[in-house]
Amino acid sequence: MVSDGNLFIVFCRYELMTKLKHTNGFTLIEGMIAAAMIAVGLLALSGMQANSLGRNVDAKDLTTVTNLAADMVERIEFNRKRVAAYSGINSANVTTKPSTAELMARGDYEQWAALLTSSGLSGVTGTVAVTLQDANPATSPTSLGRRLVTVTVSWSAVAQGTGTRTRTVSLSTVVAPE
C-alpha cells in the first residue's frame, strides 16, 4: 500500500513542521473533516455523471423526434397533390383529423398519431402547418401553388433537477403539387 506509506510520510512532516512539540497527529475530527471534504468532491463528480447521462437521453429523444417528423414529411411528399388536407392537423386533437374524403391524409394522420404514441416520449404532440406561397391556384391558373409545409413535434423532456421542459423539433419543406 504505497498510498498508506505516503500518508505516513505526511504525518511525519506534519510533526516536524509543528516543531515537534506535543503533537499527536491528526485528531479524529480532523480526519473526518478531511474525509467529508473529499466526499463532497466525489459527489460533484457523480453529479457530472448524471449530467452526461442526461445529455445522452436528450440525444436519444432528438433522434426519435426528428425521425417522427421526417416520417410525416415523407408521407406528405407522396400525397403532395392533396397537401392542403394536412393543414392544421394535430395528433393530440382528433377533431383535426382529415375527413374520410381525404383518404390518404386521414390514414397518415392515424398512423402518425399511433407512431407518436408508441415512441415512448411523454406528452408528445405532432402538428402540421401548411401555408400557400403563391397565388391561389383555384383562381390563378398560372400559379405554381407551392406550399410551405412545417411539421412540428413537441414533447416533455426531463429537465435538469426537477420538473420537465417542453422541447420542439420542426422540419420545413416546400411542396408543389405536380
Task: Give the residues lining the site for other proteins (CB under 8 A).
Answer: 1, 3-4, 7-8, 11, 15, 20, 24-26, 28, 31-32, 34-35, 38-39, 42, 45-46, 49, 52-53, 56, 59-60, 63-64, 67, 70-71, 74-75, 77-79, 81, 100, 103-104, 106-108, 110-111, 114-115, 118
Please say whether the beta carbons of 85 and 102 come within 8 A: yes
CB of 96 to other proteins, least distance (A): 17
CB of 150 to other proteins, least distance (A): 18
Calpha distance 38→159 (Å, rounded): 28
Select 46 or 139, whichever has its Cβ closest to other proteins: 46
Select 115 or 132, whichever has its Cβ closest to other proteins: 115
Please say whether the beta carbons of 143 and 136 come within 8 A: yes
CB of 41 to other proteins, least distance (A): 9
Please say whether the beta carbons of 142 and 134 come within 8 A: no
Supply 16's cell numbers: 516536524
Calpha distance 63→87 (Å, rounded): 25
| Residue 110 CB contacts under 8 Å (≥ 6 apart), including other chains | 97
CB of 104 to other proteins, least distance (A): 5
Select 107 or 123, whichever has its Cβ closest to other proteins: 107
**Residue 33: in which H helix or E strand, if any?**
helix 28-78
Select 70 or 129, whichever has its Cβ closest to other proteins: 70
Select 36 or 144, whichever has its Cβ closest to other proteins: 36
CB of 66 to other proteins, least distance (A): 8
User: CA 150 → CA 15, 22, 102, 153, 156, distances in Å?
Assistant: 74, 79, 19, 10, 20
